[in-house]
Chains A and B, each alone.
Chain A
Amino acid sequence: MSLSRIKPPMTEDNGWWWEEVGRDRLPIQRCTACSTLRHPPRPMCPQCRSMAWDFIEAGGRGTLFSYTVLHHPQFPGYDYPLTIAIVDLEEGERICTQLVDCERDDIKIDMPLELFIHEDADGFKLPMCRPAA
């Protein structure tokens, strides 16, 4: 990769999540009033409307809910074919990430996955997943 990937713009609503990923943790936002988990992070709990929250650290295990393999168009900073995975985490939340270390024909819906924190050459960190060992 000659150029680096697109970086997420940060606000109060999502910056903390990326900071935790930078510390090699996969966080899931949790409402401190009713304990409901939510992802992607948002400022208010849709269950109880509390704006108080903390987070748990996900265990990193999940299954493949859906996916797409991207071929075109190709953007600088990414390697193609690029497999995007929608993953059901064992905690019950769902996350969009990248699947690596998996041959095209081995990609199967519901396959067990493990998530890990990947570090780009420029030091940016983000969650990815691979087939569970």
Chain B
Amino acid sequence: MSTALHNTAAIAGIGQTTYSKCSGVSELALACEAVSRAIDDAGIEPGEVDGLVTYTLDSSDEVEVANSVGLGDLTLFSQINYGGGAAVGLVHQAAMAVATGSAKNVVVWRGMNGRSGKRMGQGVSGTIISSDIIHWSWYMVYGMLTPASWIAAFTTRYMHEYGATSEHLGRIAIAQRKFALNNPNAAGYGKPLTMDDYLSSRLVAEPLRLYDCCQETDGGCALLITSVERARDLRQKPAVIRAVCQASSRGQEQMTSFYRDDMTALPEMELAARQVYAQSGLGPDDIDAACLYDAFTSEILVQLEAFGFCARGEAKDFIADGALEAGGRLPNNTHGGLLSEGYIHGVNNIAEGARLIRGTSCNQPEGVEHVLVSSGVGVPTGALILGRD
């Protein structure tokens, strides 16, 4: 197991725009604002940034961002595939660059008009014939075009095998909404959610209802990653990368890994768990808070099992009694997450992970030493453990 990424790099800057339903500006503008703020948050000069990483789904090229923000020479530029599965993969690229010397100060970002522009929830389409579009075509032809529909088919089987119910999913939605009530930049700010609200919300893709689905958001979020040594000299308390990885497993498809014998677990997330625990020397008992990828509520249940917080099928019991809420065993998505803060494709969840280590979350639990963050569920993914310096 690689240890080169253990305690080598740190998140030293966080930048984010306002999150809204209609930004009124271009995605490039959102990217530039987020990147610029991450640089300022860390307290370095734009010319010191020598690496940029984003999503293949991001519409802003690295050099366009560099020209707008006034960056200098770049020695790393990279884009990660698979939608939200890219999220901590961006940090992985940055940490590898820092560890190898390929770049010293890397900014990773996602900027998207996810509500006023291209909406993920409105389905896939495509005219360029690639292996990717042939993959989607097996489902598109039947009208199964949306992330909710793909995750719903997985969720039905999971709930059938383990006896999870809509109320269990509702608890996750409500737990994260409670956190969002303290986050002025969250879509759920000022909007309490009750179990009655949840259960009476409209069906989207059974068993998933409106409040099982994440927000669609306009906004940008960026992180600056540099060496731990450099981070110590910068403006913010470093969120040290204890471990970071990508993970994809046999039978993996984009969102539709329907052909595995067992469709109630996430082998790729279990692979991510094995890697980050081995790299860091930590285990689930050492994790004090989490930002588990939450495009849909059911994804939280299966991730709690993949990361070993409970046994297979027991997540519905683990979350009883507020385990994911303030004061619980594992406060999760303390900013509200993708469900109740906004959908910046998971980069905003990483930002919250760094805030939890800094001690600056709007719902800061006491004594947070280690935070677990994950990438998208149902796609090639990854995981990240952040810790105090």
Contact = CB atoms under 8 A, between A and B. Distances in A.
B137 A9 contact: yes
B160 A96 contact: no
Nearest to B250: A46
Interface residues of A, number: 33
A117 interface: no
A7 interface: yes
B143 A8 contact: no
A69 B203 CA distance: 9
Interface in B97-141: 121-123, 125-126, 129, 131, 133-135, 137-141
B149 A70 contact: yes
Given A66-B156, A68-B153, A70-B143, A11 B202 contact: no
Contacts of B140: 6, 8
A82 interface: yes
Interface in A83-133: 84, 86, 93-94, 96-98, 109, 126
A59 interface: no
Contact of A75 (B131, B145, B202): B145
A9 B156 contact: no
A31 B30 CA distance: 49
B154 interface: yes
B142 A11 contact: no
Contacts, number: 111
Contacts of A71: 202-206
Most buried by B among A39, A69, A96: A96
B257 to A, nearest CB: 11
B137 A14 contact: yes
Nearest to A7: B141
A72 B146 CA distance: 9
A107 B129 CA distance: 35
A84 B157 contact: no
Contact of B258 (A72, A94, A98): A94
Contacts of B122: 73
Which secondary structure dominates chain A's binding surface? loop
Contacts of A78: 143
B134 A14 contact: yes
A67 interface: yes
B310 interface: no
A5 B143 contact: yes
Interface in A57-83: 65-73, 75, 77-78, 82
Most buried by A among B122, B135, B137, B140: B137
Contacts of B137: 8-9, 14
Contacts of A19: none
A78 B72 CA distance: 51
A73 B121 contact: yes
B280 interface: no
Contact of A5 (B141, B152, B203, B205): B141
Interface string B191-209: 0000000000011111110
A9 B202 contact: no
Interface in B198-225: 202-208
Interface string B152-179: 1111110010000000000000000000
Nearest to B151: A68
Contacts of A75: 123, 143, 145
A78 B156 CA distance: 22
Contacts of A109: 156-157, 160
B17 interface: no
Nearest to A87: B258
Contact of A73 (B126, B135, B139, B146): B146
A54 interface: no
A37 B212 CA distance: 36
B259 A39 contact: yes
A68 B152 contact: yes
A5 B137 CA distance: 11
A107 B155 CA distance: 15
A72 B143 CA distance: 11
Interface of B: 121-123, 125-126, 129, 131, 133-135, 137-146, 149, 152-157, 160, 202-208, 256, 258-259, 263
Given A65-B157, A94-B259, 13 more contacts: A6-B125, A6-B143, A11-B129, A13-B131, A13-B134, A14-B134, A65-B263, A66-B154, A67-B153, A68-B153, A72-B202, A73-B123, A96-B153
Interface of A: 5-11, 13-14, 39-40, 65-73, 75, 77-78, 82, 84, 86, 93-94, 96-98, 109, 126
